[in-house]
Amino acid sequence: MLNIDPMGNLIFIIFNLIGGYLLFKFFQFKFVQFTTEVDKPEFWKFEKHKYILSVSAMVILGLSAIKFFLPNTSLFTTNNALSDFQLWASIAMSFSISAIWAYYVRSLDIYERERWVNILIVFILGCLTTFLVFPISGFLNEAGFVMTGAFINDFFYCFIGIGMVEEFVKLIPLLIIMRFRKVVNEPFDFILYASVSALGFAFIENVLYINRSDFEAINGRSLMAGVAHMTFSSVIGYSIMLSTFKKSRKLYYLFGGFILASAMHGFYDFWLINPTAQQVYELSFIFYLASVHFWFTMKNKAIRSSYFHDSRVEIDNDKLRYYLILWLTIILMSSGVLVGIHSGRDVAYQFLMSELYSYGFLIYYLGFSFSKFTINERVQAICQVPFDVVIPKEPSRETIAKAREN
């Protein structure tokens, strides 16, 4: 549950007002659609209203489960039973979060879809390499490089001690799959496997955070932390793709991508960790929203430059949108039920209302932002233009073909 100060409250009010306006426009569109529909029975088909009906059903089911089936105290009478349930439920929710995003990212691999076995290998490697963070961080701490609360010191610690360390361990599974499986053969594969490695890392991290927070961290981990991890790792994956297929400046792309990903990671964490920076922690949220579009642009550009590009193949954006909105809503409502099982009905209801206020807009925002792919040769939407300036141009399919031949 977000601890929202007046400035943060203002930001969320603004975003929810925007969400309310978009919802109003949605119903306005539906009304116009109804009045202009000649075949009225066709208008009432589920496909015409699946977003609003599915989300409404999930919200009603979640609230009903809390109100009518949960007592006002924890369902568990002993601490041991509660601890066991909390651990296994945290593992289940963390895996569900990773699985939802892994399925989404794999769905974008439309030309030569990667096998689930290879994705699972990278996911497991991502889980295992996570534990390398502890000895590396321990070494830095032994050397005297620690968080002190000082603004400059903590900024560089977030960049080096968190950003560089975590991005390095998330990079290892991508390098392993590239070296030993020989399946990374088109630009999007670099982003796919980098994202899956990040999801493995996030799985371990999420178990710890969700378990420690009594389930209250579930939505922050599913909607923000996991996406942020995939974004930062994708920057490195994209840079490795460029260094693989470009003829010159290979080290520039390789190390530049690693530094950029580490800096993004450190910047995101800094405003959430440092005592002084926490006063304007909203900067992390704003930076996150910008990063969302940065990740989308990388994905869109990589898909469009595939060696296997086929103009007859399209991405079903509507299906992606429905998938994300539905499953992220299910995660949100499940978090309320789990909080209720842990702490009782009243706590769960208050928690769920707060989460709907804090994250309801974000679910729709991510659903629509991550389902606007244009994979033909047309110019991207204008909101993506600034990021085209930042992200280097992807190699042409001809360049990729020559690299594969060599």
Let me know: does 218 contact 335? Beta carbons within 8 Å. yes
Alpha-carbon gap, residue 147 to 257, rounded angstroms: 25
Alpha-carbon gap, residue 76 to 343, rounded angstroms: 9
Task: Write out the two tokens for 159.
Answer: 């960049």
Radius of gyration of the chain (CA): 22
- Report if residue 1 sits inside a domain: no
Count of domains observed in the chain? 1
Alpha-carbon gap, residue 84 to 274, rounded angstroms: 33
pLDDT at 386: 40
pLDDT at 139: 95
- Report if residue 171 sits inside a domain: yes
- Report if residue 193 sits inside a domain: yes
pLDDT at 306: 82
- Report if residue 77 sits inside a domain: yes
Closest CA to 59 of 262, 369, 332, 404: 332
pLDDT at 402: 63
Task: Write out the two tokens for 323.
Answer: 């998938």
Mind spelling out the 3-state secondary structure of the chain?
CCCCCHHHHHHHHHHHHHHHHHHHHHHHHHHHHHHHCCCHHHHCCHHHCHHHHHHHHHHHHHHHHHHHHCCCCCCCCCHHHHHHHHHHHHHHHHHHHHHHHHHHHHHCCCCCCCCHHHHHHHHHHHHHHHHHHHHHHHHHHHCCCCCCCCHHHHHHHHHHHHHHHHHHHHHHHHHHHHHHCCCCCCHHHHHHHHHHHHHHHHHHHHHHHHHHCCCCCHHHHHHHHHHHHHHHHHHHHHHHHHHHHCCCCHHHHHHHHHHHHHHHHHHHHHHHHCCCHHHHCHHHHHHHHHHHHHHHHHHHHHHHCCCCCCCCCCCCHHHHHHHHHHHHHHHHHHHHHHHHHHHCHHHHHHHHHHHHHHHHHHHHHHHHHCCCCCCCCCCCCHHHHHHHHHCCCCCCHHHHHHHHHC
- Report if residue 290 sits inside a domain: yes
Alpha-carbon gap, residue 251 to 360, rounded angstroms: 42
pLDDT at 382: 33
Which tens digits make up the pLDDT trace of 225-279? Answer: 999 999 999 999 999 998 887 777 788 888 999 999 999 999 999 999 999 998 8
Let me know: does 245 contact 399? Beta carbons within 8 Å. yes
Let me know: does 222 contact 331? Beta carbons within 8 Å. yes
- At 363, which amino acid appears? I
Domain residue limits at 299 = 6-405
Alpha-carbon gap, residue 272 to 224, rounded angstroms: 13
Surface-to-core class of residue 49, CB atoms within 10 Å of its CB (0-12 exposed, 13-18 middle, 19+ buried) = middle
- Report if residue 323 sits inside a domain: yes
Sequential pLDDT tens for the chain (406 residues): 445 566 666 666 777 777 677 677 777 777 787 788 767 777 788 777 787 888 889 989 999 999 899 999 998 988 999 999 999 999 999 999 999 999 999 999 999 899 999 999 999 999 999 999 999 999 999 999 999 999 999 999 999 999 999 999 999 999 999 998 889 988 999 999 999 999 999 999 999 999 999 999 999 999 999 999 999 999 999 999 988 877 777 888 889 999 999 999 999 999 999 999 988 888 898 899 999 999 999 998 888 888 787 778 888 898 999 999 999 999 999 999 999 999 999 999 999 998 988 888 899 889 988 998 887 653 333 334 345 545 556 566 666 566 556 5
Relative orientation angle of helices 50-69 and 345-369, to the nearest 10 degrees: 170
| Rounded to 5°, angle at Cα 289 from 8 and 193 | 135
pLDDT at 185: 87
Closest CA to 270 of 154, 350, 391: 154
Let me know: does 228 contact 97? Beta carbons within 8 Å. no
